[in-house]
Structure 1
Amino acid sequence: MQGQRTRVQRRPVHGVLLLDKPLGLSSNQALQKAKWLLRAEKAGHTGTLDPLATGVLPLCFGAATKFSQLHLDADKTYETVIRLGLKTSTADAEGDVIEARGVTCTPGQVVEALDLFMGEIEQIPPMHSALKKDGKPLYEYARDGETVEREARRVTIHDLDLLDMQLTGDEPHLHLRVRCSKGTYIRTLGEDIGEALGCGGHLTMLRRVATGPFSAAQCVSLETLEAESEAQRAAHLLPVPALLPDHTPVTLDEEGAARFLSGVRRRGAWPNESHVAVYGPVPATERLRVNVTTLLGSAHTTGGELIPGRLLSPIEIQQILETETELSS
């Protein structure tokens, strides 16, 4: 007879956890594991990583989920290894080998080929991707053996550094570091570089080492979280404003803060700004004896008006401040 499953008592958790996603787990599987370990009520991520990929995966909890969409636009940095000479059905090591060719390129030709992919380029999204066509993810078509037409997308490769290369032997490969815009498919980039070299290729390693302001050095692993106490796990959380590093801060007085949280526009001598982080005092409560200035939400300013965007609820603000009080006491 199987034992009863222990029911996890969920609790309000607000903040950002920088997870070093392990190999083999989907982004959602990693998210659900971290959510369980933190006993969090609400969680989301800021864009997916393939199961083949490891590295920086910012996870948002509670109020932070309101700003996760902002981070989807952030530039990403990856390290990857392209195995030359073998083309696979998925452009990575999970697929079947569909073509083998000899590797005859020289180091000079490699450098010239990489130069072709610098700057703004066009990519055709891979069939094995979550991009949807007629409401259905492309990977579902691929599983059914179908190939559908995909429109090319423009992306930007900011930096493409050659870290190492081996053009002879049993496993010829290129080891690259790529800094790119949102929406870039590194599997497609690897496959296209292989084609430019005349030998084909596929990814055997992919690691995201940075996304926006967050780097792999700041991340914690699931293995570490599992070994820690609940208090130690919570200590890894970054505050919600960590998702708004490029937002211009604006601080309101108590009356202005109350009206802003009600969704009312405010007038002031503000220059036009597309991204604003709004702070203000919240009234004292039984547990919080004094007014505290804290993040209220995001906004933009135009024509001297502060126009609310995503707002924290009064309950979320109180929960955040009470947690901060507990941690500092």
Structure 2
Amino acid sequence: MVQAPPPRRVPRRIVDGVLFLDKPQGLSSNHALQQARRLLNAAKGGHTGTLDPMATGLLPLTFGEATKFSQTLLDADKAYDATVLLGVTTTTADAEGEVLDTRPVHVSDAQLAAALAQLRGEIEQVPPMYSALKHHGKALYEYAREGVEIPRAPRRVTIHRLELLERAGDALRIRVDCSKGTYIRTLASDLGALLGCGAHLTALRRTRIGPFALDAAIPLADFDACAPAARDAALAPVDALLVHMPCVSLDADQARSLTHGQAARGCAGEAGQAYRVYHAGRFLGVATLAEGGLLVPTRLVSTADQ
């Protein structure tokens, strides 16, 4: 009996651009990336910083040449809407952990307002054990699952805004604007500690990263339902994550030097500043201006098709 040949794999496409995704609950950031990459049949993809599986909201995904700039948003401020339940503490400081303790809640609105005020501005947070931070090359959550507690040094973060949106009994809806490295789970736990009743995070939605807001994002289910051409059209350009940078336009000779890995001469601007670089409207990459008007390439995109 002659066996049928195995089905041919469809080759991956070269896809360049940024997808501002509204991640659903229950998916890891990597799982969401792989689903979007499969829908685009993209050869290369990455993301710009993880969201916990429990969390929803803005998750920018990068494809092709845009992956070179995935790190751009790691240092950006972020904003979240969160739900916190007072009176219950868990092993993970969120709803995915096991309940450690339950206490009665006798917290007035004035006490709540005072506790929130203490958590605004520059504060120190101890990173949770259930996090992806590494200790001797191993994620802290792996130690936590083994019942091993690793000492963690507190980290300084900035809470730019911490606002109570609604209180319904022991459940609070809050809005947080914060610096990079802030753990909203830890913020919820610290709030409960200040109030003396304990607390944990029950829902989290990221609404902003740097200059990018959730209202520009597409839900994964909607992206899945799109026709292939519409999926490609939903991608922002390769330079979409760099809008915070000033830009410079080069002439043909300057562009030729830069794309060959050499400094472009005769450029004006602030020494030490990174710039988005263009020629004839085409994005070339990122370069840094050195003394003497030399624009030194930092990270260039492929120009093989030019």
Specify if TM > 0.5.
yes
CA contact (8 A) 2:269 2:289 kept: yes
The unaligned stretches of length 5 or more in structure 2 are: 1-5
- Output the CA distance in 2 between the equivalents of 1:275 and 1:118: 32
| Map of 1:227 onto structure 2 | 225
- Output the CA distance in 1 between the equivalents of 2:72 and 2:198: 36
C-alpha displacement of 1:125: 0.6
Three-state SS of the structure 1 residue aligned to 2:295 is strand
| Map of 2:209 onto structure 1 | 211
CA contact (8 A) 1:77 1:180 kept: yes
C-alpha displacement of 1:56: 0.2
Three-state SS of the structure 2 residue aligned to 1:204 is strand
| Map of 1:184 onto structure 2 | 182
- Structure 2 counterparts to residues 25-36 of structure 1, below 5 A: 25-36=27-38
- Structure 2 counterparts to residues 82-231 of structure 1, below 5 A: 82-166=84-168, 168=169, 172-231=170-229
Q: How many residues align?
A: 300
| Map of 2:3 onto structure 1 | none
Encode CA deviations 1:152-190: one digit per residue, 9 max, x unaligned: 111111111110113x4xxx1211000111111100011
- Output the CA distance in 1 between the equivalents of 2:9 and 2:201: 41
- Structure 2 counterparts to residues 255-294 of structure 1, below 5 A: 255-268=253-266, 269-281=268-280, 293-294=281-282
Task: Find 1:307's aligned residue among 292, 296, 301.
Answer: 296
Task: Find 1:42's aligned residue among 44, 50, 53.
Answer: 44
Three-state SS of the structure 1 residue aligned to 2:12 is coil
CA contact (8 A) 1:91 1:203 kept: yes
TM-score (norm 1): 0.88
Matched letter for residue 263 of structure 1: G
**Quick check: 173-182 or 48-57, which moved more?**
173-182
C-alpha displacement of 1:270: 2.3
- Output the CA distance in 1 between the equivalents of 2:226 and 2:72: 30
| Map of 1:287 onto structure 2 | none
C-alpha displacement of 1:222: 1.6
CA contact (8 A) 1:266 1:306 kept: yes
CA contact (8 A) 2:254 2:265 kept: no
TM-score (norm 2): 0.95
CA contact (8 A) 1:270 1:305 kept: no
Matched letter for residue 270 of structure 2: P
The unaligned stretches of length 5 or more in structure 1 are: 282-292, 322-329
CA contact (8 A) 2:16 2:65 kept: yes
CA contact (8 A) 1:11 1:39 kept: yes
- Output the CA distance in 2 between the equivalents of 1:204 and 1:6: 45
Three-state SS of the structure 1 residue aligned to 2:60 is strand
CA contact (8 A) 1:86 1:99 kept: yes
C-alpha displacement of 1:94: 0.6
Three-state SS of the structure 1 residue aligned to 2:185 is helix
- Output the CA distance in 2 between the equivalents of 1:241 and 1:67: 8
User: Quick one: percent identity of the two aligned structures?
Assistant: 53
Three-state SS of the structure 2 residue aligned to 1:160 is strand
C-alpha displacement of 1:229: 0.9
- Output the CA distance in 1 between the equivalents of 2:216 and 2:97: 32
Question: Do the aligned partners of residues 70 and 153 (structure 1) sit closer, same or farther apart at CA in structure 2, a change above 3 Å counting?
Answer: same
C-alpha displacement of 1:6: 7.1
Task: Find 1:295's aligned residue among 260, 277, 283.
Answer: 283
Three-state SS of the structure 1 residue aligned to 2:273 is strand
